Structure 1
């Protein structure tokens, strides 16, 4: 063999080895976005999730976290994920009911009494079956649906004591039927709007009111543009960590299990932070000059009862009660 032939053979062999090494150490990168601040429990949970995924997979799966709507609003991130981008987000499950209507039950009014109830139902066979259906119909994989963001309360400029006080009030809510119909049943005028625009909407008067959980009220500094928080707790905001099915299916079975298990584990971590920080967040909001009020929930609970039948969710509600042993 001539020197030139030897050189060529060596070059081919080297290229093959480089190719093999590239495959062996290839990284799968998932970009997870959130509309919330880094110090929000969801943000802290995602950062911890990213670190633990990297450690457990030896760096072969990389999770990059983007806070404060850096990748867009929640709907925009879901659209990107459905289009096949290696993107995910933490989303209220009701947004996904467009593809699997039964999923709206996770955001139904006055349904879950505690986080533990929601966590238990999110791991039930019935719920996981809806998750499989979501992957088939929408190209989205729910890694875990136990990321609890807290009870949603009414944020207004005037005090409220019942549904009648919300008549004509333009209240920002999430643009999914269960949220819209709940807010309408409570007496307000539902006004869907991206979360990143809520502060300016309240400041400029485009909105009269909003509804949000304690940590988000503090994180978005909404205490600067509202006067009252009424503790309605009308919806327990249970959210899901969702990623593109195309990206998830590129993972090995071993890595899929690691990612799913850590998503559930860190969902509980973030949720417990939410619970621990909730009272502290409301105390900070009150210290900023906002009036925090308790209210008789009976009129609100009565007002939203027709929402279940209107959205054909009575069977799903019965299923929740069955799983929880009620």
Structure 2
């Protein structure tokens, strides 16, 4: 634990330095180093470019957002650790990443808990969700500027056709290294294998893993179609992410600048959501042109298989809370 904390503090000091990789010191009053594991071509990263420009324009140059895609600042957990240590670092996180502080967040990635991305987008604007974010600030020193950076529905990627959980028996499938994700992929029939995103392509290529699960833009951006043969449209999780930053850094901004950063984060998150919804069909069409087969299946057997995950992860009542909130 001490060594991990030391690494996080060291990374925080590095991130707070006036230059990164030889870049000159920023002339802005405040700087946010926004990193991600995503490719520069990912819709979230493209929207982040617009977020950067909009913040600079509205703040008249007082706030500078510097972008570091493709794991330049480390894996997602590395960037979270830097932000938690107080660095001016931000990143995109899915809900299970912050559920270690506020367990309720896990319901946002509970398998088949939402029937559409529209339901999820509505829920994250609720007072219930806002209350969870307040708890996150108190417990971790982290805060979500917005939580509408939709990445897409997660689907199963394999080297053979699958249509039911039994087809995944013995198949090593990479997933996010959080308990809910591990339980979900295991319940779907596979051998859940947590790995950093940057290791997915070479691990598929060398046979360390037999499959993965990911959303359309990530499949395309990481060129995973080169190392798989089949995509099965399971849509087991609608992957919504939030822009996470250090609350200490956010509170260091004057009130007007704090509002600008939050407003533009939400604005460009909505843009990323639209791009990923609108662009999924074309991505799958382009993937099919490479020879990879894309299968539409009856997901009912997978829905049934993951039901025990809700109970095991203590999410059954939370799913009910979500359904009630959505009725309002």
Please report the TM-score for the alignment, with normalisation by the length of structure 1.
Answer: 0.91
The answer for unaligned runs of 5 or more in structure 2 is 1-26
Written as runs of structure 1 = structure 2, the 5 A alignment for 1:29-68 is 29-68=31-70
Aligned pairs (5 A) from 1:184-195? 184-195=186-197
Query: How far apart, in 2, do the equivalents of 1:116 and 1:244 lie?
Result: 28
CA distance in 1, matches of 2:115, 2:267: 21
User: 2:227 & 2:80 partners in 1: Cα distance?
Assistant: 29
In 1: Cα distance, 2:222 partner to 2:288 partner: 15
Aligned partners of 1:221 and 1:185: how far apart in 2? Answer: 27
Name the SS for the 2:115 alignment partner: coil
Residue 216 of structure 2 contacts residue 284 of structure 2 at CA under 8 Å; is this kept in 1? yes
Alpha-carbon distance between aligned partners in 1 of 2:74 and 2:262, rounded to the nearest angstrom: 24
Matches within 5 A, 1:84-99: 84-99=86-101
Query: After superposition, where does 1:60-209 map in structure 2 within 5 Å?
Result: 60-209=62-211
* Partner of residue 311, structure 2: 309
* In 1, Cα distance between equivalents of 2:166 and 2:277: 30
* Partner SS for 1:99: coil
Cα deviation, 1:103-155, whole Å, max 9, x if unaligned, reads 01111111222222111111111111111111111111100111100000000
Cα deviation, residue 26, structure 1: 5.6
Q: Say which one has the larger Rg.
A: 1
> Does the 8 Å CA contact 2:145/2:243 hold for their aligned counterparts?
yes
Instruction: Count how many residue pairs are aligned between Structure 1 and Structure 2.
Output: 302
Q: How far 1:172 moved relative to its partner?
A: 0.4
Matched residue, 2:248: 246
3-state SS of paired residue (1:249): helix
Give 1:233 shift. Answer: 0.5
State the 1:175 CA deviation.
0.9
- Secondary structure of 1:35's aligned partner: coil
In structure 2, distance between residues paired with 1:68 and 1:277: 21
Q: Quote how far apart the aligned CAs of 1:245 are.
A: 1.4
Q: TM-score, normalised by structure 2?
A: 0.90
Aligned-partner Cα distance in 2 for 1:161–1:115: 23
Displacement of 1:92 after TM fit? Answer: 1.0
Residue aligning to 1:268: 270
How far is 1:177 from its partner?
1.5
Whether contact under 8 Å (1:139, 1:245) holds in the other structure is: yes
1:276: how far off?
1.3
Superposition pairs for residues 14-29 of structure 1, below 5 Å? 27-29=29-31
Matches of 1:178 and 1:255, distance apart in 2: 36
Which residue of 1 is the match for residue 227 of structure 2? 225
Paired with 1:114 and 1:46, the residues of 2 have a C-alpha distance of 24
Residues 278-311 of structure 1: CA distance to partner in whole angstroms, max 9, x if unpaired?
1111111111110110111010000111111111
> What RMSD over aligned residues (CA atoms) do the two structures have, in Å?
1.2
The 5 A counterparts of 1:275-290 are 275-290=277-292
Indicate if the aligned counterparts of 2:28 and 2:64 stay in contact, CA closer than 8 A. Answer: no
| 8 Å contact kept, 1:95–1:175 | no
Q: Which runs of 4+ in 1 moved over 6 A?
A: none
